[in-house]
Structures are given as C-alpha cells and as structure tokens.
Amino acid sequence: MMSSEQAILDDLLIQHPPCSISRARKLWARLGGLSHFVLVKGKAAGAAGGKLLLTGLEIIRRVILAIPWLVVCISMAMFVGSWYFAGPAVTVSSFMDASGDKSGSLGQMTADALALELQRIDQLDTVKNPWGRAEEVHSLLVTTPQAYERVGTISVGGTQLPIGELLLALKGLLPHWYPQRVITGSIWRSSSGDGTPVRILVRLEENGRILKHWSSKEAPATDDAAMQRFVTTVAFEIMWSMGKGNGANSLENFQSYINGVEKFRRYKDMRGVEDFDDAERQFTAAIKHNPQYVKAHYYLGTLYGWRANYEDTDMQLAEYYEQKAREQYDMIQVNAAPEEQALGNFGLGLLAYRHYGREKRLSSGKHGARSPSDLKLREADQHFKEAMRLDPKLHFARTGHALVYKEMGCIRRAIREFERARREAEDKSSVAWIEKQITTLKDREQRAKQAMQKARAGESRWSRLLAVFSWSSARKGCV
C-alpha cells in the first residue's frame, strides 16, 4: 500500500503545468471575444447591407418608372430644338379641296408635286458638288404633307382635332433661329364647260404671316401638262421669293440656269448631244442677260470640260472644247467668291490632268506618237493646290492632288491625300469612288513589296532588277 507522501507526489506529477492552463484560457477568451465581435458587428453589417440592397432596388425601380418620362422629355427637347435650331426649311401643307376625300384629292396631289419640285430645284442650285446626285446634302429642308397628316387625330369633347395641323400651326407661331416657311393652298372647282375647271391658290407664309400668294388660271382638272407647268412656275417663284438663286438678276435668269444644270447632269451621265446643246443654250442665255453670273460661267465651263473628256479620239476637237472651258473658268476668277474661285481652279486642274491622260492613252503602244507632257501634270497640280488654298474643305481638289501623286508613282502620298478627301466628302458616290481608289493603291503597293521580298530571297538577277525598278518607279518624285 502506497504511503500518503508518495500519493501526494504522484498527484503533483500528473497535474498540468501552469503555463498550459493560462494559454487555453487565453485562447478560449479570444475565441469568445471574436465570436462576440462577429455577432455584434455582423448583425450591424447585415442590417446595413440589407438597407443598401433595398435602397438599390428602390433606385432601380424609380429609374425604370422614370424611363417613359425621360423619353418624353428628350423627345420634346429634340422637337423644340429642331424647331429652333434647324436650318432653312419649308413645309408644304395639303391644299384644301372641296372634293372631300383628302387621301386621293387633287389638293393632296398638287401639294406633293409642289414639294418634289421645290426639292428638285434645291438639288440643282448648288456649286458644292456640280455633278452630285440626290443623296447630296441639301441646303433647304422640304417637308411633305404626309409628315404631319400621318400623325393622326385626337378626340376632344366629341370633336376630332388633327394633331399634325395643330403642330404645323404651333410651329408657325413659335420663334425660330432660322425663318420657317409654310406653303398652304386651296382648290376651287366649277362645273361648267368640258371637264371640271379648277383654280389653284397658293400662299407662302413665314412665322404665321402671308408673304406672297399666287393664283392659276382656270383649267380642266384632267390637264396634267397645264397643272405641271403651273406647279413648276410657282416652285421657281417660291424659291426666288425665299432668296434662292444667288447671282441671278431675275427670276427668268435663275430659271435658265437651273434648267441648264439639269441638262448638264443628263449629258454627263447619258452623253446625249441634244442634252449638251440644251445645256449650252440655257447657260448662254443666262450669261447673256447677266454677264456677272458666276455660277452660270462655271457650269458652262464644266460642260465644255466634260465634252472635251468625251472627245477622246479627236484630239483637235477635244482641245477646242478645252479652250472654251478655260475661257469660262478664267472669267470667274475676278468677281467670284473664294469657294467659286476654288471650283474654277479645280476645273482648270481637271482640264490639264485629263489632257495629260489623253496624251498618255494615245501614245501608249504607238511608235512615233507624241509622249505625254509632264508640264500638263504640273499645271494640274498647281491648280489643285490653289483650289485647296482657297477652299481647304473642297475634297474635289484634294482628290485631284491625289491623282497627280498617283500618276507620279507616290503611292503612299496618294493614299494619304485620298484618305483626307474621304473625311471631307459628303455625298455617298464620292466616298465610294475614293474608297475604290484607296483599295487599288494599297493593292499596288502590296504587290510591289512582295516583288521586292522575292527578289531579296535570291531569285534570278533579271527578277531582282525588275523588282528594284518597280519599287523605285513606285517612289520616284516622292520625298
């Protein structure tokens, strides 16, 4: 049996050291404090996160609910802004017709024909692009009757109110930065004689007041030719009353010029001799009554320039029309505005460039033929540079400058000039033509590089010489 002293000693030996007890208690205390912190702070963080989530959801809900009002406000701002800041514009309203059926009435047809005629004159009255097409930017915004009629009607107290006509009336009363004009009219009919004679009244209004009015003579409603003549005459008088036809000294002078431009564009596209003769006659008549009519001189010179370009096989006749074109261009250099002088220089440059190209084509493959003159190419470049100086945004002159670089073999410079001209061009046809030129030049440069790489790869001496010659010719005259 163990003595009491030995038992006490054994009991002391199996007890844990004091340091082990203190560490466990410290660890337990720390875990307790951490759990208390997590519980307290976590509860607060969870409450804050929940509030933040609810606040975010509320903001999203309010934004979704506010989208329709935001769209309405933006639409109203754009609508009012288009009224106030839009450029010169004219709105053609449907003519009042006693026939009743507005969708197919004579008043509707007359208004549509008048709107189309106004747009046609505006497209032709430009020097920005003398051979432009319909996609060219117009200086005058013409709104047809359907733009307001298709809005529909609203019912107020059992009465149907046309929203489009209300907007049109409000548009005339609000102030604008540019004058906003409205064309209204009416159809009067009488049942006497053959057919149904009608009389058309046309009014030009500006900001709610009548500026001018026109009246047609009575004619049968089935006489389409007489109706078209009246619409054309009124359209020219409306454009003249709105200040169009800058440079013309009379309405007849302006009309001759517009008719000449129309015939010129037809001749450019169709090459019809009758169109050339008609255009020459109209421009000559305009210049005869107004020798200072700069745009008429310019278009007549451009007409002669295209005729010289088409006379590819008859060098003598081509040079004859070149001289006639040069005379017209020289006459506009004194009293013309800078942009018109720029177009005149562009025309002179185009004459010289086409002359150079014509000599090059005629001398190609013919023994003893006259070689193309580099002086013509330099002359063309001088005129193109002068045109760019007078009007830096004239992309025609920059494309001419690029063509000179192309002819000299300066491929990179030509591409750079074409790219600058593409940024300045406004009509789609010019952009498409410029992009085609850029693609062709890049393919040409790529082929030259490939030929040089093959020559360096160790092909025959003759191939290396041809590659070096091709590469050097592609860069001759380039800095």
* DSSP type of residue 198: E
Residue type at 246 in one-letter notation:
N
Topology (CATH) of 87-244: Rossmann fold (3.40.50)
**Quick check: 462 and 454 in contact, CB under 8 A?**
no
- At residue 353 the predicted structure's pLDDT band, cuts being 50, 70 and 90, is very high
* DSSP type of residue 236: H
Q: Report the DSSP pairing between strands 153-156 and 159-162.
A: antiparallel
Reduced to 3 states (helix: H, G, I; strand: E, B; else coil), residue 465 is helix
* Residue 362 vs residue 303, higher pLDDT: 303
* Residue 422 vs residue 191, higher pLDDT: 422
Mean pLDDT of 191-209: 75
Strand partners, 162: 153
* DSSP type of residue 216: P
pLDDT (tens digit per residue) in 92-106: 887 887 655 444 577
Residue whose token pair is 């009743």:
100
Mean pLDDT is highest, among 194-198, 209-213, 434-438, for 434-438
- Asked if residue 142 has pLDDT above 70, the reply is yes
**Quick check: 295 and 328 in contact, CB under 8 A?**
no
pLDDT (tens digit per residue) in 239-282: 998 888 888 999 999 999 999 999 999 999 999 999 999 999 99
| Structure tokens, 173 | 């009363």
**Quick check: 194 and 218 in contact, CB under 8 A?**
no
In 3-state terms, the chain is what percent helix, strand and coil (to 5)?
A: 65, 10, 25
The lowest-confidence range among 231-245, 250-264, 281-295, 358-372 is 358-372
Q: Report the DSSP pairing between strands 89-92 and 219-220.
A: unpaired
* Residue 208 burial (CB count, 10 A): 12
138, 134, 123, 130: which is closest to 346 by C-alpha?
130
The lowest-confidence range among 169-178, 290-299, 326-335, 434-443 is 169-178
**Quick check: 286 and 253 in contact, CB under 8 A?**
yes
- Asked if residue 24 has pLDDT above 70, the reply is no
What does the angle CA 384 – CA 288 – CA 123 come to, to the nearest 5 degrees? 55
The lowest-confidence range among 94-98, 121-125, 126-130, 455-459 is 455-459
- Asked if residue 154 has pLDDT above 60, the reply is no
pLDDT (tens digit per residue) in 437-465: 999 999 988 888 887 777 666 555 555 55
**How is 116-159 classified by DSSP, letter by letter?**
HHHHHHHHHS-SSSTT--TTSPPSSEEE-THHHHTT-EEEETTE
| Structure tokens, 166 | 């209300």
- Domains of the chain by residue range: 24-85, 87-244
Mean pLDDT is highest, among 141-145, 243-247, 394-398, 475-479, for 394-398
Task: Please tell me the distance from the alpha carbon of residue 377 to that of residue 360, in angstroms, as a whole number.
Answer: 11
Average per-residue pLDDT for the chain: 77
| Structure tokens, 71 | 């769209």
Looking at residue 8, its pLDDT comes to: 46
Looking at residue 9, its pLDDT comes to: 43
CA-based R_g, the chain, Å: 40
* Residue 142 vs residue 136, higher pLDDT: 142
3-state SS track over 370-401: CCCCHHHHHHHHHHHHHHHHHCCCCHHHHHHH
- Asked if residue 394 has pLDDT above 50, the reply is yes
Helix (H) or strand (E) holding 184: strand 180-189
Looking at residue 4, its pLDDT comes to: 53
